[in-house]
């Protein structure tokens, strides 16, 4: 097995473990998952780190040093939101429930609740009150377009 194949195996193992840890799944369209896994593997091969392949970087080496976009990215750790659509709910949507009101993800996807609020990543900051039905209703009202 060459280094690239080993790195792909590492990424696939990480993806499987992260799905179990977060209660999410990979995208139901295999080509989405394959593209993201391929990009992560390529960055692991070249940069020695799994830099998110779904962002544009003027300087990838600097992005690695900053660590914001190393998979799992800061948004995934903090809000359980995956820009790449690698970690999603059963409909293929990223979790937006914990995002700040002004985050682009809420504008794009609307409110997408967490199918496994009891699960997450170490260091993930999920406010306890975010899981109540009352707060979910408030969040829905905040992101729903006016009728």
Summarised one tens digit per residue, pLDDT across range 69-119 is 999 999 999 999 999 999 999 999 999 999 999 999 999 999 999 999 989
Name, in order, each residue with C-beta under 8 angstroms of 131's C-beta and a sequence gap of 6 or more: 114, 117
Q: Is the pLDDT of residue 131 over 70?
A: no
- Closest-CA residue to 16 (of 7, 5, 25, 3): 25
134: CATH: 3.90.460.10
- Closest-CA residue to 103 (of 132, 73, 83, 124): 83
- Closest-CA residue to 95 (of 38, 33, 32, 22): 22
Active site residue 52: no
How far, in whole angstroms, is CA 26 from its chain's centroid? 10
Predicted structure pTM score:
0.80
Q: How large is the angle between the packed helices 30-47 and 3-22, nearest 10 degrees?
A: 120
User: Domain containing 80: what range?
Assistant: 3-143
User: What total number of domains does the chain contain?
Assistant: 1
pLDDT, residue 75, reads 94
Residue among 52, 54, 71, 73 flagged as catalytic: 54
């Amino acid at each position: 097995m060459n280094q690239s194949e080993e790195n792909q195996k590492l990424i696939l193992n990480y993806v499987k473990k992260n799905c179990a840890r977060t209660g999410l799944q990979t995208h139901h369209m295999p080509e989405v998952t394959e593209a993201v896994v391929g990009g992560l593997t390529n960055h692991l091969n070249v940069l020695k780190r799994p830099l998110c392949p779904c962002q544009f970087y003027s300087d990838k080496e600097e992005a690695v040093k900053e660590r914001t976009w190393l998979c799992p990215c800061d948004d995934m750790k903090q809000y359980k939101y995956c820009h790449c659509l690698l970690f999603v709910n059963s409909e293929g949507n990223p979790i937006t429930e914990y995002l700040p009101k002004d985050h682009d993800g809420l504008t794009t996807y609307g409110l997408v609740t967490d199918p496994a609020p009891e699960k997450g990543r170490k260091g993930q900051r999920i406010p306890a009150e975010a899981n109540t039905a009352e707060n979910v209703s408030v969040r829905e009202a905040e992101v729903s377009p006016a009728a």
